[in-house]
Amino acid sequence: MGHPGTDGRTDRFVFFDMGNVLLHFDHQIAWQQMARLCKIDPDMVRETVFEDPMQLRYERGELSSQEFYEVFCQQFQVQPDYELLMKAASDIFQPADEVIQIVVGLKAAGCQLGLLSNTCEAHWEWIQTLGFRWLETCFETFVLSYQVHCLKPDPKIYVVAAREARRPPAELLLIDDRPENVVAARETGWDAIHFTGVVDLVEQLQVRQVIDPTERPGE
């Protein structure tokens, strides 16, 4: 794969979403593990944590991990081990290998890459323990909702990401699985791809001349 910006290809800063783009995850696993640890009803955990503003407050950085733990304990009148509860909430991720292959190929071609994700402190800390070398070597910018105190599709997070990338919006490309995040990025002046699968992603990147149409991802 040649260097972006050569041979007629465009030089863009590409931001990837994390959940269900780079990493598969399932919140159902989280609430079941948390419920099993605390010996409470899984549906109560789902309703109280994941269908209530509690999780969004945590992902927005309005709650620290310790505060999330304390609120959880108060809500359910339980007191599990802190580390075990954080693990139960976070051990839900598996790498999306085909997308990661594309990421590695883009980086090898000289493309600048960033991560733009709605996530919480516990999830990010857990992911960092998994030893994904591509996460350490491929991305130069990390814009995480709990750190910047805003969530996609809030326009503010795209402004922050553009500032971190040191690029104007027209040179930024977002790859995200949630349509509302794609729409918001476009409204902020970015280009954006709605991620629905690897085949379509490759086609969309080829159309934009981010990758060479004659080459396979990762080559």
- pLDDT (tens digit per residue) in 107-118: 999 999 999 999
How confident is the model over 23-68, as pLDDT tens digits?
A: 999 999 999 999 999 999 999 999 999 888 999 999 999 999 999 9
pLDDT exceeds 70 at position 216: no
* pLDDT tops 80 at residue 209: yes
User: Is 13-24+94-207 assigned to CATH 3.30.470.20?
Assistant: no
Predicted TM-score (pTM) of the model is 0.91
User: If you average pLDDT over residues 165-191, what whole number do you get?
Assistant: 98
Q: Given a cut of 90, is residue 100 above it in pLDDT?
A: yes
**Domain ranges in the chain?**
13-24+94-207, 27-90
Residue 11: pLDDT band (50, 70, 90) is confident
Note whether 160 and 142 are within 8 A (CB).
Answer: no
| CATH architecture assigned to 27-90 | Orthogonal Bundle (1.10)
**Could you give the CA distance from residue 36 to residue 42 in angstroms, rounded to a whole number?**
8
| 93 vs 159: CA distance, rounded Å | 28
pLDDT of residue 64: 97
Mean of pLDDT over the chain: 93
The C-alpha angle 92, 94, 100, rounded to 5 degrees, equals 145
Structure tokens at 219: 């080559």
Distant-in-sequence, close-in-space partners of 174: CB < 8 Å, separation ≥ 6: 14, 15, 17, 116, 158, 181, 182, 185, 190, 191, 192, 193
